[in-house]
Chains A and B, each alone.
Chain A
Amino acid sequence: MAAEMSSIVSIDEVPATLRAPPGPFAAFWYSFRQNKGAVVGLVIVLIVVGLAVFAPLVAPHSPIEQFRDAVKAPPVWAGGNWRFALGTDGVGRDMLSRLIYGARVSLFIGVAVMTVSFVVGVLLGLLAAYFGSLVDIVITRVMDLIMSVPDLVLAILAVAILGPSLINTIVAVTIVYLPRYVRLVRASAASEMQKDYVVAAKVAGVGPIRLMLSSVLPNCLAPLVIQAALGVSDAILEAAALGFLGLGAQPPTPEWGSMLADSREFIRSDPWIVTLPGLAILITVVAINLMGDGLRDALDPKMRTS
């Protein structure tokens, strides 16, 4: 053993040209890094995630505590003080704390919608691709039906049935976005099924579950990952729109969309109450989209936009 070890050359002594090609992750990171926007997006996303996770430590106040002595206090740049750096809302709740806790709600919705529609979408898409015929037709038709109703209208209908709440927002938005995943998985799995390696695997006696999950699925993953990343930002926007219409998370949950709905009466007098929640949504969604574009460029050179 010892002799063998000593014959192995340290990696530093090998000329760079002889080194093994970078692993998949290193290659991905190298090409992701080329896109400056994507890196900026990633940094912002990490900051927002950090704020959401450590909200109780970072936020100066409770998001639902009403400071009756400081109702509609202006932010520091408009003559306010540092006790409420971004001012307070119509009932004296600290805007900064509500925005920080709001990141939790929005990210939770985004990630939950993405996870559920990813898993269900993969299952339905693979089922459709594997069985074909009737199963395929039923799944495809149902997805077409969902897509024929404008997304927000369908989400509104779902919330009207289920009743407005945080969980039902997630359910409604998941229903709306599910077809995208199903169609993507079905299309790429169906084209993979034609390939020789799948035939070879079948001949070798690989069972259907193993065939679909460990042979076909990994080859469909790249577009799916991109869709998932961009799906998070779409879900956040959609959920905020529901919140804005009063159909999302209910008060006093500090959800960015419903904060905007509450703020409409202050549009004339106290513009920061209107401006800040929207800005939070915009920054988060832009950051996720920039990151998603970077992912697309790095994972799928064919879909490269520039």
Chain B
Amino acid sequence: MIGFFLRRIVLTIPTFIALTFLTFVAIRLVPGDPVEARVGEHGITPERLALLRHQLGLDQPVWKQFLDYGWGLLHGNFGTSLSTSGSVLTEFMTLFPATVELSLVAMALAILIGIPTGVIAAVKRGSWTDQILMSLSVTGYSMPIFWWGLLLVMLFAERLGWAPVGGRIDLIRFDYDTPTGFMLIDSLLSDEPGAFLDAVRHLVLPAIVLGTIPLAVVARMTRSSMLEVLNEDYVRTARAKGLSPFRVIGIHALRNALIPVTTVIGLMTGSLLAGAVLTETIFSWPGVGHYLIDGISRRDYPALQGGIMLISVVVIFVNLLVDVTYGAINPRIRHGG
């Protein structure tokens, strides 16, 4: 068991090294001199340029720069943002809870609605209900979520005024500390009346938008894996024993049907973060996706480099966690891998 964990962890090391190399090379390939981008002054003296280059270590040979970069990463130095002069890691960690909160709520929506939808579709296989639910699922799966977000903003924020257009909280009405970074928790801790409701109102539309594709995937997966399980002998036995349909479907069948579904849910982290980039852009949600897009428009390459590195580390880590959890649950994976 421990050997399995260690093997999985060791396997990620080459990926990390390669990732470091990739972001390092990629950012150096980006057109435009980072020093000139940072200075932004016309008629800057060559001496000052050279000084800045020296300060950023850009006058070193490339291999030395790479080693310095890698050494810095090992010490938690993910670079310094050109536009704010702040540490990329610190900025990332300030924004990260916003993305996590949004992703968790989106995922919760997807699971809480997706699984029952899939079960109903499987049980009523071939009926109108099934066909309508599955048509909705294909539509959700195919959704250009940036457009979906704009539509919801247009309808619920602009037309009906039920939800705010963007942001996490009404900054004019509320001002309180955010010790956890999770607005839902912080607003409850703040004791300001109405803060929690306001946070929820801000969260609903982005969560629906980000949750749409996972919801559709979970519903589809649940349906097909449920259909397989419903044909198994043990389900027939449970029925023959006279158990109530609810018990047979909701407990006996669902428990096994959920195994492939949980795999899919675990592996969706990467696409969830990619979706967060678009969702955060539409709703001005101050998360890491927004940070990356800002980095591009400001040509802030260290921020971009560090941000991409950190997001990938999160994805690799979550995938590792998913892997290890399955190893713990399922001995066949443990010994096969």
Contact = CB atoms under 8 A, between A and B. Distances in A.
Interface of A: 37, 141-142, 144-145, 147-153, 156-157, 160-161, 163, 233, 237, 240-241, 244-245, 247, 257, 260, 263-264, 267-268, 271, 274-275, 277-278, 281-282, 285-286, 289-290, 293, 305-306
20 contacts: A142-B18, A148-B270, A148-B312, A149-B19, A149-B315, A150-B271, A150-B315, A151-B274, A152-B278, A153-B273, A160-B30, A161-B26, A245-B281, A260-B144, A260-B150, A277-B147, A281-B147, A286-B139, A290-B138, A306-B125
Contacts of A260: 144, 146-147, 150
Contacts of B319: 148
Contacts of A305: 220, 223-224
A10 B74 CA distance: 79
A180 to B, nearest CB: 12
Contacts, number: 131
B7 to A, nearest CB: 15
A278 B126 CA distance: 30
Contacts of B281: 245
A153 B296 CA distance: 11
B18 A150 contact: no
Given A244-B278, A281-B147, A156 B270 contact: no
Given A149-B312, A156-B292, A289 B141 contact: yes
B304 to A, nearest CB: 7
Contacts of B135: 37
B15 interface: yes
A225 B278 CA distance: 29
B30 to A, nearest CB: 5
DSSP class of A's interface residues: helix, strand, loop or mixed?
helix
B333 interface: no
Interface stretch (B75-83, B151-159, B321-329): B151-159
Nearest to B135: A37
Given A151-B274, A274-B151, A306-B227, 12 more contacts: A145-B15, A145-B19, A153-B273, A153-B312, A240-B144, A244-B144, A245-B278, A267-B158, A275-B154, A278-B151, A281-B144, A285-B142
A269 to B, nearest CB: 10
A23 B336 CA distance: 40
B22 interface: yes
A280 to B, nearest CB: 10
Contacts of B14: 141
Given A260-B146, A282-B143, A148 B227 contact: no
A259 to B, nearest CB: 10
A289 B315 contact: no
A258 B22 CA distance: 28
Contact of A152 (B22, B158, B224, B277): B277
A126 B202 CA distance: 50
Nearest to A269: B158
B311 to A, nearest CB: 6
Contacts of A161: 26, 29-31
A304 to B, nearest CB: 8
B248 interface: no
Nearest to A41: B138
A254 B183 CA distance: 40
Contacts of B238: none
B316 interface: yes
B270 A147 contact: yes
Nearest to A285: B142
Contact of A282 (B142, B224, B278, B293): B142
B274 A150 contact: yes
Contact of B274 (A153, A267, A271, A282): A153
A151 B138 contact: no
Interface string B97-134: 00000000000000000000000000001100000000
B265 interface: no
B184 interface: no
A141 B319 CA distance: 15
B308 interface: yes
A141 B15 contact: yes
Contact of B224 (A263, A274, A281, A306): A306
A278 B296 contact: no
A289 B138 contact: yes
A260 B281 CA distance: 13
B143 A148 contact: no
B311 A153 contact: yes
Nearest to A267: B154
A263 B312 CA distance: 32
